[in-house]
């Protein structure tokens, strides 16, 4: 997991607003669109109005500071990213256009584009709920229910994994590590919408170090369970600039701290997803499906074998990402077909089968997948070919579902 | 992100697509469609996007269709992006045909300077653009796209034996020419499988590297689900002349090489040495065999060799490129000439020019079209540099013969062959045909 994935998640939130616009849910030209001035500097983030009316809002962010900044519209929990505009250079202005329903929100800026942000301020939206069709609502409800079942399964699996790890049953913990991640990998773009959780749960070591975050979560435990490989990896010349002081076995107390934190973070994710306020847009679902496949192909993803750089269990994650994308696609499939996308739907059906069949050649969750370091360049190239075959048509899904 | 009121799409009359707008404009209804500044802006975008739609060729365009494929005798452009593709496991004969049709359509557009598919601005803003856009505005740049078929396209892959069509995945085995045998192993080969072979190859040459890269990138994307990029190579600085109008350029050793090339103007030489004739199945007549060899040069050790040593190795002078027995580049080398004092040959018996010369290869000749490459450097502070050798010949045997002659070459101390491929390049693409269509009839 990288910071760019987080930003992708934010872009999804922003896109969903655009998508609904194009879908004709509000009149084109949006006569009631409201423009709100935001003045940002290195310490503050002044929003001209603390209230707005539901529909399309445009925040015009002027950066009067000395650092490049970002502007966020956050949910009432200050964590859910409703919309984001980044890379606002000093002295320049950029717009964030979002479509929002009634509710409580927060605005914030992030000078230097790192850290917790500054100038958090409440922002209230009044007015009517944003219109959607019953079919769309049903699809969203179905997918939200699926996300809940995944987090509900995730909690005990992670609990079992952490228990084995804390008890020092390393062989058992190593066997449970890839299994404990399956449900998370199926719904990862959703988890990434809760801005601070994914970095704690699933950041890889380079990502954590680069962003100045404590290295915690699945991959911290992975490093401890496969410590010899970690030492070997981080002794390579190209990784020589990473600190070595954490390449020592954790004590039982440290194991308990790291393990308990993962359990707590996963539990928090489950609570958030189960909250009555939790919802997603159609574009969240379709872009999430694409995002899951992009994660497999990313330079620090599963295809290059970087996701689980010590355990080499990337084929489990790869499979889970594809399954997650397939569920998202299946959920919106009827809408796609209703919009005249039968051909795209059929193509995606076939590509999913082909991708999953190819993966099945390497094992299964039950029987275990082969260690990814035994999959040679030619075989990885074949996996890449199937993934590309699936990802290219997937890039047309959002347009087919919400853009007609 | 701009607000919706800044989007020209929202200014279009309701229900009017961009393409329809173009039609309206073409019918002289500008006043109707371009009601606002946004509409006018949209119209300008459209016209620039589709600006090359006429029948007149664009400046710098090389015709895509003809008796032979472009990019062989076309005067060598300065930039190369060469790509090898592997058919996806499970891909069918229909997939292959569809791919070649789609590639042909895209190649024709690309070589006319047009964007592929719906261009870089689809009507639906939620769609990724068909054309990746990075070559827009760069012109045509003499782009040529040359397609070849690997032996594995006819006989399949050994490691895919489990497939139902094992040994003949696309029903083409009976059309495999007798001469189309794999290249043998050569001395000093240290071939890397990840930079060798491929079911299909595409040679993209252009005056501008971004035009060549854009073409390969978009063809690669079009291939998704049917074929996958296996490896590719960028090249710069052509290392051979294919026309008498061109000067012989230099390789990264600083030498002129390949002076004795078959030239585009030499139609009898081309017919004899480059174009495949009646001996081959109909689909390959008028085509050629393309050999690509990625030849790494040990630049650092070469640069420490004395001038006398360098000239002895090539058998040519460094500045003029003349054989050591002559004064001008195009002087015929005199391999019999002896040094009066020692009686040793003036041109070393293992000099490159001697071993590679047609006289010493039973008159075998090929059309060389190589490029220099630098793939950055390695962790040892050495340049990852060399020659991406490309040659076209009537038979693979020609290359094999010359390459075997080079076994004692003094140059071998400074080079290693690290990539290799052989493809059959079908004949020219006629009006309305797709690349390799004759294979499927």
Write the pLDDT tens digit of every residue in A327-374. Answer: 999 999 999 999 999 999 999 999 999 999 999 999 999 999 999 999
A-chain residues within 8 Å CB-CB of B159?
Answer: 378
Q: What is the DSSP letter of B6?
A: G
State the pairing for strand pair A34-40/A55-63: parallel
CA distance A256 to chain B (A): 41
Closest Cα partner for A296 from A369, A234, A347, A359? A359
- CB within 8 Å: B3 and A58: yes
Give A183→chain B minimum CA distance, Å.
Answer: 28
Alpha helices in A167-281 (DSSP H): 170-186, 188-192, 197-202, 205-210, 218-225, 227-233, 252-274
Structure tokens at A164: 């084995």
Torsions phi, psi for A120 (to 5 deg) = -55, 125
How far is the C-alpha of A121 from the C-alpha of A49, rounded, in Å? 10
Contact A54, A102 (CB under 8 A): yes
pLDDT band at A4 (very low <50, low <70, confident <90, very high): very low
The partner residue sitting opposite B3, judged by closest CB among A95, A377, A399, is A95
Residues 6+ away with beta carbon under 8 Å from B39? B8, B11, B12, B21, B33
What is the rounded distance in angstroms from the CA atom of residue B393 to the CA atom of residue A137?
64
Q: Cα B200 vs. chain centroid, distance in angstroms?
A: 12
What pLDDT is attached to residue B69?
A: 98
In this model, does residue A403 exceed pLDDT 50?
Answer: yes
Query: 3-state SS string over A167-192?
Result: CCCHHHHHHHHHHHHHHHHHCHHHHH
> Across the interface, do A388 and B228 touch by the CB < 8 Å criterion?
yes
- Gyration radius from chain B CA atoms: 25
Is beta strand A368-369 parallel, antiparallel or unpaired with respect to A363-364? Answer: antiparallel
- Residue of chain B whose Cα is closest to the Cα of A379: B159
> Are the Cβ atoms of A378 and B10 closer than 8 angstroms?
no
Are A372 and A312 spatial neighbours (Cβ–Cβ below 8 Å)?
Answer: yes
Q: Which two tokens stand for residue B192?
A: 């890397």
Residue B259 makes CB contacts below 8 A (sequence gap 6+) with B248, B321, B329, B330
DSSP B353-365: HHHHSGGGTTT--
C-alpha B29: how far from chain center = 45
| Chain centroid offset of residue B418 CA | 18
Instruction: Indicate which of A281, A356, A389, A394 best probes the interface with B, i.e. most B CBs within 10 Å of its own CB.
Output: A389
The reply to whether residue B224 touches residue A392, judged by beta carbons under 8 angstroms, is yes
Q: Is A28 in CB contact (< 8 Å) with chain B?
A: yes
Q: Is A3 helix (H, G, I), strand (E, B) or coil?
A: helix
A 331-350 residues with CB below 8 A of B?
347
Q: What is the pLDDT of residue A82?
A: 73
What would the pLDDT profile of A228-252 be if each residue is shown by its tens digit?
999 999 988 888 888 888 999 999 9
Decide if A381 and B125 are in contact by the 8 Å CB cutoff: no
Which of A29, A377, A396 minimises the CB distance to B4?
A29
DSSP state of A65: S
pLDDT for position A130: 67
Chain B touched by A30 (CB under 8 Å)? yes
Q: How confident is the model at residue B10, as a pLDDT?
A: 31
Question: Tokens 């100045």 label which residue?
Answer: A212
Closest CA to B360 of B375, B374, B372, B350: B350
- Counting Cα atoms < 13 Å in the Cβ hemisphere of A102 gives 5
Query: What ipTM score was computed for the predicted complex, to two decimals?
Result: 0.76
Report in angstroms the alpha-carbon separations of A51 from A38, A60, A133, B84. Answer: 13, 15, 27, 58
User: Which of B1, B225, B379 has the CB atom closest to A351's CB atom?
Assistant: B225
C-alpha distances (whole Å) from B281 to each of A372, B176, B367 are: 44, 8, 22
pLDDT along chain B (441 residues), means of 10: 35 38 34 33 36 54 96 95 96 97 98 95 91 95 98 90 74 96 92 95 97 98 96 90 81 85 88 95 97 96 95 95 93 94 94 90 89 92 95 96 93 96 97 96 90
Query: A308 in helix, strand or coil?
Result: coil
Order of strands, sheet of A51-53, starting from the edge strand that comes earlier in the sequence: A51-53, A118-126, A103-109, A69-74, A81-88
CA dist A166 and B27 (Å) reads 76
- The reply to whether residue A85 touches residue B1, judged by beta carbons under 8 angstroms, is yes
Q: Which residue of B has its CA nearest to A287?
A: B126
Contact B125, A22 (CB under 8 A): yes
Query: Could you report the per-residue pLDDT of A11-61, keeping only the tens digit for each?
Result: 333 444 333 333 333 333 334 457 899 999 999 999 999 999 887 788 999
Residues found in chain B: 441
Residue A364, strand partner residues = A368
In the block, residue with structure tokens 């689809």? B122
| Contact call for A56 and B3, based on CB within 8 A | yes
DSSP annotation string for B262-311 = PPTT-HHHHHHHTS--TTS-GGGTT-EEEEEEEEEE-HHHHHTS-HHHHH
Q: Does B193 contact A at CB distance below 8 Å?
A: yes
Instruction: Give the pLDDT of residue A357.
Output: 96
Would you say B372 and B387 are in contact if contact means Cβ atoms under 8 Å apart? yes
- Going by their DSSP bridges, the two strands B144-150 and A45-47 should be labelled as unpaired
Of the pLDDT bands very low, low, confident and very high (cuts 50, 70, 90), residue A103 is confident
pLDDT of the residue at B54: 42
What is the reported pLDDT for B57?
A: 53
For residue A97, what pLDDT is reported? Answer: 77
Sheet with A45-47: list strands edge to edge.
A45-47, A34-40, A55-63, A93-100
> With b meaning 16 or more CB within 10 Å and e meaning fewer, what string describes A247-280?
beebeeeebeebbebbbebbeebbebbeeeebeb
Of residues B5, B14, B225, nearest to A389 (C-beta) = B225
A65: which residues sit within 8 A by CB, 6+ positions away?
Answer: A40, A41, A42, A43, A90, A111
Tell me whether B194 touches chain A (CB under 8 Å): yes
B221 in reach of chain A (CB within 8 A): yes
Burial call A117-131: b when 16+ CB within 10 Å, e when fewer: bbbeeebebeeeebe
pLDDT score for B263: 84
Task: Count CB-CB contacts under 10 A for residue A191.
Answer: 24
pLDDT at B14: 39
Cα distance between residue A97 and residue B238, in whole Å:
50
Q: Which residue has the tokens 């190795």?
A: B313
A392 inside 8 A of chain B by CB: yes
Rounded to a whole number, what is the distance in Å from the CA of B88 to chain A's nearest CA?
Answer: 6
- The four Cα atoms B216, B217, B222, B225 give a dihedral, to 10 degrees, of 110
Window from A83-87, A292-296, B309-313, B340-344 with minimum mean pLDDT: A83-87
Burial class (CB in 10 A: 0-12, 13-18, 19+), B145: buried
- What letter would DSSP give residue B336? T
State residue A79's pLDDT score: 64
Residue B441 burial (C-beta neighbours within 10 Å; 0-12, 13-18, 19+): exposed
Q: Which of A93-97, A176-180, B219-223, B399-403 has the lowest mean pLDDT?
A: A93-97
Q: What is the pLDDT of residue B94?
A: 97
């Amino acid at each position: 997991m990288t910071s760019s994935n987080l930003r992708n998640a934010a872009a999804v939130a922003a896109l969903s607003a655009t998508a609904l616009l194009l879908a004709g849910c509000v009149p084109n030209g949006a006569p009631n669109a409201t423009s709100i001035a935001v003045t940002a500097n290195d310490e503050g983030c002044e929003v001209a109005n603390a209230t707005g009316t539901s529909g399309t809002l445009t925040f015009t962010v002027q950066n009067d500071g000395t650092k490049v900044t970002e502007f966020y519209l956050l949910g009432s929990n200050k964590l859910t990213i409703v919309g984001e505009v980044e890379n606002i250079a000093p002295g320049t202005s950029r717009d964030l256009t979002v479509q929002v329903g009634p509710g409580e929100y927060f605005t914030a800026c992030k000078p230097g584009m790192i850290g917790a942000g500054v100038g958090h301020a409440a922002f209230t939206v009044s007015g009517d709920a944003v219109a959607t069709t019953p079919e769309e609502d049903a699809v969203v409800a179905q997918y939200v229910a699926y996300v809940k079942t995944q987090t509900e399964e995730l909690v005990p699996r992670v609990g079992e994994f952490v228990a084995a790890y804390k008890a020092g049953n390393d062989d058992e913990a190593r066997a449970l590590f890839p299994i404990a991640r399956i449900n998370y990998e199926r719904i990862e773009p959703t988890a990434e919408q809760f801005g601070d959780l994914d970095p704690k749960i699933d950041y890889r070591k380079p990502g954590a170090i680069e962003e100045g975050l404590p290295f915690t979560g699945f991959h911290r435990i992975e490093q401890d369970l496969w410590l010899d490989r970690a030492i070997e990896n981080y002794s390579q010349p190209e990784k020589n600039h990473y600190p070595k002081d954490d390449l020592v076995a954790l004590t039982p107390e440290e194991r308990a701290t790291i393990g308990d934190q993962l359990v707590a973070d996963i539990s928090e994710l489950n609570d958030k997803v189960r909250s009555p306020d939790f919802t997603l847009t159609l574009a969240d679902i379709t872009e999430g499906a694409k995002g899951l496949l992009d994660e497999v192909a990313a330079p620090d993803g599963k295809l290059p074998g970087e996701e689980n750089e010590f355990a080499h269990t990337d084929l489990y994650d790869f499979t889970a990402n594809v399954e997650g994308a397939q569920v998202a696609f299946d959920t919106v499939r009827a809408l796609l077909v209703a919009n005249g996308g039968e051909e795209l739907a059929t193509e995606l059906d076939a590509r999913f089968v082909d991708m999953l069949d190819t993966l099945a050649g390497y094992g299964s969750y039950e029987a275990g997948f082969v260690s990814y370091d035994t999959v040679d360049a030619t075989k990885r190239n074949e996996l890449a070919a199937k993934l590309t075959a699936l990802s290219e048509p997937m890039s047309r899904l959002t347009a087919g579902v919400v853009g007609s | 992100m701009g607000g919706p009121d800044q989007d020209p799409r929202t200014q279009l009359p309701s229900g009017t697509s961009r393409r329809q707008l173009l039609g309206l404009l073409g019918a002289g209804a500008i006043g109707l469609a371009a009601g606002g500044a946004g509409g006018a802006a949209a119209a300008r975008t459209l016209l620039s996007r589709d600006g090359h739609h006429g029948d007149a060729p664009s400046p710098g365009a090389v015709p895509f269709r003809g008796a032979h494929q472009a990019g062989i005798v076309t005067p060598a452009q300065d930039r190369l992006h060469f790509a090898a593709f592997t058919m996806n496991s499970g891909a069918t004969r229909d997939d292959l045909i569809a791919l070649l049709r789609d590639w042909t359509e895209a190649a024709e557009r690309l070589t006319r300077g047009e964007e592929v598919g719906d261009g870089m601005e689809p009507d639906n803003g939620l769609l990724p653009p068909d054309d990746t856009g990075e070559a827009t505005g760069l012109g045509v740049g003499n782009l040529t796209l040359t397609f070849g078929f690997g032996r594995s396209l006819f006989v399949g892959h050994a490691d895919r034996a489990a497939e139902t069509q094992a040994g003949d995945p696309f029903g083409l085995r009976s059309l495999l020419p007798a001469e189309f045998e794999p290249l043998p192993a050569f001395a000093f080969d240290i071939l890397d499988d990840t930079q060798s072979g491929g079911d299909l190859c595409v040679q993209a040459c252009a005056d501008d590297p971004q035009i060549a890269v854009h073409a390969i990138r978009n063809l690669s994307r079009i291939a998704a689900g049917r074929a996958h990029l296996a490896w590719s190579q960028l090249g710069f600085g052509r290392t051979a002349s294919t026309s008498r109008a061109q000067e012989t350029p230099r390789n990264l050793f600083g030498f002129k090489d390949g002076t004795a090339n078959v030239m585009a103007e030499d139609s009898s030489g081309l017919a004899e040495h480059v174009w495949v004739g009646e001996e081959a199945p109909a689909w390959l007549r008028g085509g050629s065999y393309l050999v690509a060899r990625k030849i790494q040069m040990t630049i650092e050790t070469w640069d420490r060799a004395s001038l006398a040593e360098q000239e002895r190795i090539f058998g040519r002078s460094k500045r003029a490129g003349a054989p050591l027995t002559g004064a001008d580049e195009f002087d015929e080398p005199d391999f019999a000439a002896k040094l009066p004092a020692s009686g040793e040959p003036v041109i070393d018996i293992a000099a490159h020019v001697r071993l590679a010369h047609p006289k010493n290869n039973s008159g075998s000749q090929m059309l060389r079209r190589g490029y220099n490459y630098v793939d950055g450097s390695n962790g040892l502070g050495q340049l990852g540099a060399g020659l991406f050798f490309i040659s076209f010949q009537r038979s693979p045997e020609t290359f094999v013969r010359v390459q075997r002659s080079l076994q004692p070459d003094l140059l071998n101390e400074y080079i290693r062959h690290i990539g290799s491929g052989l493809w059959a390049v079908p004949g020219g693409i006629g009006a309305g045909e797709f690349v390799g269509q004759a294979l499927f009839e």
